[in-house]
A and B are shown apart, each in its own frame.
Chain A
Amino acid sequence: DADVTQTPRNRITKTGKRIMLECSQTKGHDRMYWYRQDPGLGLRLIYYSFDVKDINKGEISDGYSVSRQAQAKFSLSLESAIPNQTALYFCATSGRKTGGLAGALPDTQYFGPGTRLTVL
């Protein structure tokens, strides 16, 4: 089974609709991230969370919100989708395992398979 899963994998919606993308991980990591990928722009950070009670904006958070429902779950919402939010969205995890040794090095990010969102 995949360590980082995203649902749905593909979604087509209309302008103005509310959309939620979900991410779950079984790696036991404390840190989770949402990125969007656009051709020629690479990956840009939307939001990140270092713990259930910690939510931080990334470089392009406008128009998005997130919820860290549990250590293993991090969802991204588009309250009112617009066409320029059409993109490929990735969830990622990193960091020491929950309950692991303090002071562990920040480390590799592990990515989910992505959600392709189209807003018409």
Chain B
Amino acid sequence: AQSVTQLDSQVPVFEEAPVELRCNYSSSVSVYLFWYVQYPNQGLQLLLKYLSGSTLVKGINGFEAEFNKSQTSFHLRKPSVHISDTAEYFCAVSRFTGNQFYFGTGTSLTVIP
């Protein structure tokens, strides 16, 4: 079975400061990894994904994430956040052999002016 753990439910950060949102997963098989963002009153949209290849993945809006297989982690980072980054962020995994997605419980990022 797969599970996804987002260790921080809420992360407040000042504008222009760096941020890291943590995600760990457990799986007995290889997986694909995703980060989604949900802005207030909207559906989820893809930030970035890891399917194969380079373990450092760059996404939209200046976000990046690094896949660490030995630590089963896929942490999301941004070197300098903006007010508009205030949103809920979800980590998700999908097995190679299927297309079910398993989502974490989400991290609420609040950027403080």
Is B90's beta carbon under 8 Å from chain A?
yes
Is B105's beta carbon under 8 Å from chain A?
yes
Main secondary structure of the interface of B (DSSP, over half): strand
Main secondary structure of the interface of A (DSSP, over half): strand
Cβ contact within 8 Å between A95 and B105: no
Interface residue count on the B side (C-beta < 8 Å): 24
Residues in B with CB closer than 8 Å to A92 are 44
Cβ contact within 8 Å between B103 and A105: no
CB distance from A23 to the nearest CB of B (A): 11
Q: How large is the interface on A (under 10, 10 to 19, 20 to 34, 35 or more residues)?
A: 20 to 34
CB distance from A94 to the nearest CB of B (A): 6
Interface 0/1 of B48-81, CB less than 8 Å to A: 0101000000000000000000000000000000
Residues in B with CB closer than 8 Å to A4 are 43
Cβ contact within 8 Å between B103 and A40: no
CB distance from B25 to the nearest CB of A (A): 13
Is A28's beta carbon under 8 Å from chain B?
no
Cβ contact within 8 Å between A42 and B103: yes
